[in-house]
Amino acid sequence: MADHGMAMAHVDGKVAFVPFAAPGDLLEVEVVRRRKRHLETRLLRVLEPSPLRREPRCPLFGVCGGCQWQHLPYAEQLAGKAASFRGFLKSRLGLREDHRFRAPLAAPQEWGYRNRVGLKVRTLEGAPALGFFATGSHRLVPLQHCPVAHPRINALLPSLTGFLLTWSPARGSLPQVDLQIDGDGGLWGVFHLLKPPTSLEAAALEEFLRGQGVASAWLQTGRKHTLAPLWKNAPAHMPFSVHAGGQEFPLAVSPGGFVQANPAVNQLLVDEVCALSAHYQGATALDLYCGAGNFTLPLARNTAAVVAVEGYPPAARDAERNVARAGFEAVRVFPQPVAAGLSRLAGEHCRPRFALLDPPRDGAGDAVDGLADLGPEWILYISCAPPTLVRDLQRLCARGYHVEWTRMADMFPQTAHVESLTLLRLGDRL
């Protein structure tokens, strides 16, 4: 197995990357691109299937761009992702010691785990259709069921598709619908529109969604600041929670705010943070890119103080509200970009012992130098993109840090997506 859900073979002395293949397959492929050191191919036929192969659960597998590995048993997926992640860090960072790679965190569920989906809406054969994009394109693949999505989302899809056939904005003014399951099992929707609906159109959508038992629905007609509730007195915050030290911490999150799409694996990440409490016990800790406080509250249980920094204003307000609700008086939330927050801390001569980073896919490039200037002894970097993780780790290592350990976490079974945790320590490697 290789990166991005590919399998790897050798043809005429070159590496050949093959999508939707399995170790042990005998395949007929077409070379679609020749590179200096490798070939990119398209799978034409499976001549002799590998004994590892299984029947994909979704009939759209291989067409829809959402999943890459449904044809492999979950144990093989997990091992393939872990090996790919390990090989990537070894080649890019020179991280040779196997003991620095901890066993991967497996997802408790391989199906029905995803509590958030972004569905595309396009007109096909004169009628609105709902689905995901095809692999490597913007061509819509219509669907009415997704096996990795939460059952509550799947229950809505057929009726939502039927409603859109008669709802005028779906014909060119509705590019996307986001569906989210909250921690109590309630269903939320965000409808992205190119222009505001008329009062009659809004009323029709409200009537449909209320009839389907949707907890709350919001309209977005531009950037996120345009989010507005579809109906009066709709709940304004999605309820979630995390557990730490035997205690449940409620998290209220505004629509449009970030929540991990796999709550069970998110809890595993929180557990990993709690397991490191000896590194921040009684000290000052930073939570950078803190969102609504997913890691802030577990950290605050054992620290003298936490500074949480979040650049998206609604998320920062959510964090402030969640911290106040939990009663943590020694937590400060900085509602500003992380680089600016780090500069502010430098001006206060803050000397944290521990820092947690959970940046978006672009990584923490704007924050690495400012964080290194503060010199925390320990840094836990939670990443959803290995390339930007490696880039940032290289810069931190150049500033005197070294990797204590790293661990892959499987947030999205059936896909090539890789989440990870990496613990760094300032000073000489032991």
Cα 204 to Cα 198: distance, rounded to the nearest angstrom: 10
Burial class of residue 137 in the structure, from the number of CB atoms within 10 Å of its CB (0-12 exposed, 13-18 middle, 19+ buried): exposed
- Find, among 186, 184, 127, the residue nearest to 153 by Cα: 186
Q: Residue 353 gets which letter from DSSP?
A: S
384 included as an active-site residue: yes
**353 in Cβ contact with 283 (< 8 Å):** yes
Q: Exactly one of 64, 290, 384, 397 is catalytic; which is it?
A: 384
In DSSP notation, 103-164 reads PPBPPS-SSS-B-EEEEEEEEETTEEEEEEEBTTSS-EEE-S--TTB-HHHHHHHHHHHHHH
Pairing relationship of beta strands 401-409 and 419-426 according to DSSP bridges: antiparallel
In DSSP notation, 214-275 reads -SEEEEESSSGGG-EESSTT---SEEEEEEETTEEEEEEE-TTS---S-HHHHHHHHHHHHH
Which contacts qualify for 400-406: CB closer than 8 Å, 24 or more apart? Answer: 400/372, 400/426, 400/427, 401/372, 401/425, 401/426, 402/427, 402/428, 402/429, 403/93, 403/95, 403/100, 404/100, 405/99, 405/100, 405/101, 405/102, 406/89, 406/95, 406/100, 406/101, 406/102
- Find, among 234, 236, 202, 200, the residue nearest to 221 by Cα: 202
Cα 349 to Cα 325: distance, rounded to the nearest angstrom: 29
Distance of CA 214 to the CA centre of its chain: 24
Pairing relationship of beta strands 378-383 and 354-357 according to DSSP bridges: parallel
* Residues labelled catalytic: 384
